[in-house]
């Protein structure tokens, strides 16, 4: 499986929590049409492994491997193994579990464990994590994120998650402090949203992020 290259990805992870298997491919196509390349189905969504397998079958092929699709809320080694069995290539967790990270990395998954302290961050990187998910970013705030990022190895991929919306005011302060991307939840997708609302939200996030990083 290919090595993750942040320069070839649009670094916003679409978190489609609560999605149903019968809707997941259609919704992912909307997001991908608007420029997203990473889609996460949290395991506390209905029949999540079914949804993930459908995404794998739709988007990961020998001819089409630029997308990363997989699971979020992967909290145990067994859950990681279940996700790996679907053929997923993206693993996101809310916590720092070295066994989960090592299993995911060995399977060739882009792996973003959730951390909130320097100890967790360094342990995650030592275990081979692709990058770190700053979660919940509200627990650190801007000052905490600045302090954390100042001690991390240069080039560490940091993705704040939690409460990010598609506005300059929400995203710019973190980008200015070194965030390379974000994980996006309910501001991007909720099961109650129409397809048009999802597309509008995806367009807004894409436009704001691109404007900020290309300014």
Residues marked active site are found at: 40, 133
Cα–Cα distance between 71 and 208 in angstroms, integer? 25
Is the Cα dihedral 39, 15, 161, 200 positive or negative? positive
Give the pair of three-digit tokens for residue 19: 């999605």
Cα–Cα distance between 67 and 50 in angstroms, integer? 18
148 neighbors 122 (Cβ within 8 angstroms) = no
Tell me whether residue 67 is exposed, middle or buried, using C-beta atoms within 10 angstroms of its C-beta: 0 to 12, 13 to 18, 19 or more.
buried
Q: Name residues whose C-beta falls within 8 Å of residue 200's C-beta, 6 or more positions apart in sequence.
A: none
Phi and psi, residue 178, nearest 5°: 115, 5
Cα–Cα distance between 83 and 80 in angstroms, integer? 5
Nearest one of 32, 81, 78, 79 to 55, comparing CA atoms: 32
């Amino acid at each position: 499986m290919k090595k993750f290259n942040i320069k070839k990805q649009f670094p916003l992870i679409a978190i489609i929590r609560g999605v149903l298997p019968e809707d997941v491919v259609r919704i992912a196509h909307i997001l991908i049409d608007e420029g997203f390349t990473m889609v996460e189905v949290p395991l506390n969504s209905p029949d999540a492994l079914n949804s993930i397998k459908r995404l794998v079958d739709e988007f990961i092929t020998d001819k089409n491997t630029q997308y990363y699709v997989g699971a979020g809320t992967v909290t145990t080694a067994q859950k990681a193994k279940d996700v790996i069995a679907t053929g997923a290539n993206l693993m996101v967790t809310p916590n720092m579990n070295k066994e989960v990270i090592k299993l995911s990395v060995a399977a060739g998954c882009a792996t973003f464990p959730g951390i909130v302290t320097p100890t967790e961050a360094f342990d995650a990187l030592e275990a081979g994590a692709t990058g770190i998910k700053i979660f919940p970013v509200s627990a650190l705030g801007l000052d905490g994120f600045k302090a954390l990022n100042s001690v991390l190895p240069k080039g560490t991929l940091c993705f704040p998650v939690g409460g990010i919306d598609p506005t300059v005011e929400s995203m710019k302060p973190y980008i200015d402090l070194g965030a390379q991307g974000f994980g996006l939840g309910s501001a991007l997708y909720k099961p109650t949203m129409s397809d048009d609302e999802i597309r509008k939200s995806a367009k807004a996030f894409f436009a704001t992020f691109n404007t900020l990083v290309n300014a």
